Amino acid sequence: MFPPADFLEISKAHRTAWVAAVLALLLSPIGCTDPPIDIPPERLGVVGRWAAGESWLEISKSGRLDFGIRSGSFGRGAQNADITAIDSQRIEYVVGPFWTYSLALIGPYETDRAPAIRAMGVELYQVAR
């Protein structure tokens, strides 16, 4: 029940603390993460769709990430995540308002088959559009 049924019967100090806690929750920022970044020019080579078998990864120039990576019995994925940092070995991204994750990402590099990247140890090939 909101507020508690005995709200008026508790001491003024407890009532004040209860109201302060509720106000703090209501006034706290909902999204505490950084906004998505634009992919920097030196990393534009990773922008696009990459796939191999059941694994895929898509990175937009405006800093969005969608992926589903399977490696043996292990799998991980995210939909519509915001990229908050990218360097030569990883991408940091957020899911929801609070959860920040890191994805190991190497490349792109050339192979006999097609340009490739390695995400979480899985080699993915560039998909032609």
Q: Does 70 reside within a domain?
A: yes
> What percentage of the chain has pLDDT greater than the value 70?
73
Q: Where are the extended beta strands (E) located within the chain?
A: 48-52, 55-59, 64-71, 74-86, 90-95, 99-109, 116-119, 122-126
Residue position matching structure tokens 């998909």: 127
Q: Are residues 45 and 107 in the same domain?
A: yes
In this prediction, residue 29 has a pLDDT band, given cuts at 50, 70 and 90, of: very low
* Residue 19 in this model has a pLDDT that exceeds 80: no
Work out the mean pLDDT of the chain and round it to a whole number.
82
Q: Are residues 7 and 62 in the same domain?
A: no
Q: Are residues 87 and 64 in the same domain?
A: yes
Check which CATH number belongs to the domain holding 101 and give it. 2.40.128
Q: Does 36 reside within a domain?
A: no
Q: Are residues 16 and 56 in the same domain?
A: no
Can you give the pTM of this predicted structure?
0.69
Give the structural domain span for 119.
41-126
Distance separating alpha carbons of residues 50 and 66, to the nearest angstrom: 11
Q: Are residues 56 and 113 in the same domain?
A: yes
Q: Is the dihedral of CA 92, 93, 99, 101 positive or negative?
A: negative
Count of domains observed in the chain: 2
Q: Are residues 20 and 61 in the same domain?
A: no
